[in-house]
A and B are shown apart, each in its own frame.
Chain A
Amino acid sequence: MLLHTEALEGGFASPVLGAQATFRALLDAMARPGTIRTAGGDAAPPHPLSIAQGAVALTLTDHDTPVWLSPALAHETVKGWVGFHTGAEIVASSAHARFVFLAAGEAIPDLHGFAPGSQDYPDRSATLVIELPALSGGPEFVARGPGIKDSTKIALQGLPADFLRRWAANRAFFPLGLDIVFTAGSDLMALPRSTDLQALGG
């Protein structure tokens, strides 16, 4: 297999500090659902992987975390980039993945197709990293739960119309369930399984 040279470029210039800065953005985002943070470092992943998605991959994935790439992402350059920079195995079966990456504009597959963890080990669940057109300006939802003082509004753009219903099903699974990191360009927002989403006024 011939690797495109772009698969070899675009990692963090400073892997230690880039990963630390991105982790702090993720830590903050996960601890305060609904807040928008910017990925740290200077990741420059190949299209269509976004900057934030690339930074998350560099920060959290390695040979211990099978990665599933959506159809739009699963081409040689992205596979090569993830493989070269993180050492993560790209798996064909979504149920075996610990990290899942979806490109902008792609349909979000059935959430039941990803690992929700087990009753004994709910932490062994997948984290979805989903690229959206924007993290604000979309239809408003009210979010409640740990990390949120009273309630907060989120307005993600580009979610499927039935997302609330699908998220409610995931939420009902607690403590099992998927955690999502939404990304847009270099920004990210987290939606842990503990967050309750309602339509505005609902």
Chain B
Amino acid sequence: MAENIETASYDALVIGAGIAGGEAALNLANNGFKVLLVEKDLSIGGKMILLSKVFPTLDCSACITTPKVSEISRHPGIKIFTGTEVKKIQKKSENNFEAIVVKAPRYVIEEDCTGCQLCEQACPVVVRDQYQYNLVGRKAAFIPFSIASPRVAAIDIENCTLCGACEKVCPTKCIDFTMEAVEHHVNIGTVIVATGFRLFDPLKIPRYGYGLYKNVLTSMEMERQLAPTRPFNTVLRPGDGKVPDKLAYVLCTGSRDATVGNPICSQICCMYSIKQAQLLMGALPMADVTIYYLNIRSFGKGFEEFYEQAKGMGVNFVKGKIGKITEKENGNLILRYEDINESVVKESEHDMVILSVGVMPNPDAGGFFGEGELKLDPFSFVHQTDLLGSPPETSIRGVFVAGTASGPMDIPDSILSAGAASSEAISYLNRKQ
């Protein structure tokens, strides 16, 4: 790849263009700094852009994210690289980092694509749509999702048959199969790590039957079914397409559980489950929704009222963690649990089960710098060296952390954290020797 090296310099490198990274990049750029915003995915916006509504206000998530995303996209001070991974960052001296980032080929010339979707129609290959959390299919030539930014096509080369159908129909001739990865060597003054989180993989708890029982979903799959850009335009159980009427939420799936290596609270699952339950009460007025919980942690502003509101709407709250799930022949699920208030083991039948999966660290963060340079905390989130005095600071001077890269938190906290990280980064840049 020696022939594909480009060099440039920026004031700041922001890794991850989710809500935290985006906010940090915007703050830096608005203060006159040149920012390189690197995103591994094909679109910026992170997980928030895929959500339905946000707690505890029930505002539309996309309606908050999309204006912010378009502001980021058209800001003259921000250069966005999507489909790009950070390979290596080296600190030369204060205010002087050298980063190598690799932009994978999209096989579409971004500047020329109009997002007309003709390639999508022409493409004969159908694969699972990861942006709809595998609930529906997409083509191998595709626009990631309707509110993606940039809203341009990409070729999923792993599944592409190279039939050339897309190339023939593309009106701007922007599809280019000869594209190769480009390595960018950039000089930068400061780094913000906003690599976000991973969702817990429920396959690690086989007794819940995820992947085996079709009507056991993750909360993110349910989130997609409730979003404005949802795949089915209603809530359906994946097993047989039936509209569910007795749903259950299993809280603390992969959180506060030492057996799966994640003993800490994910901080968001109680509230997003209560939010989804309220949305389900609206979407399916006849449905019963039960939330099985250990403790409801409604600690934030307006959270307790939000919880009370759900109870008032008729959401059923049962104290007890689900021990195991078994499937009946008709696809319904039997949940076995101990009703803690009665000290009695019980079984209940539901036709759809949603596992409220927890927040796991993104292992990418530790790999950008030299071995052990960017310290991680015992749970593999980025270690905050001065948690109370200056939360964005990391073990490397000039590298700051924003959002869930430092630990589980909700959207307002992520944005606050990004604000703190960007102002720390600005102070660092202005303190130039």
A binds B: no
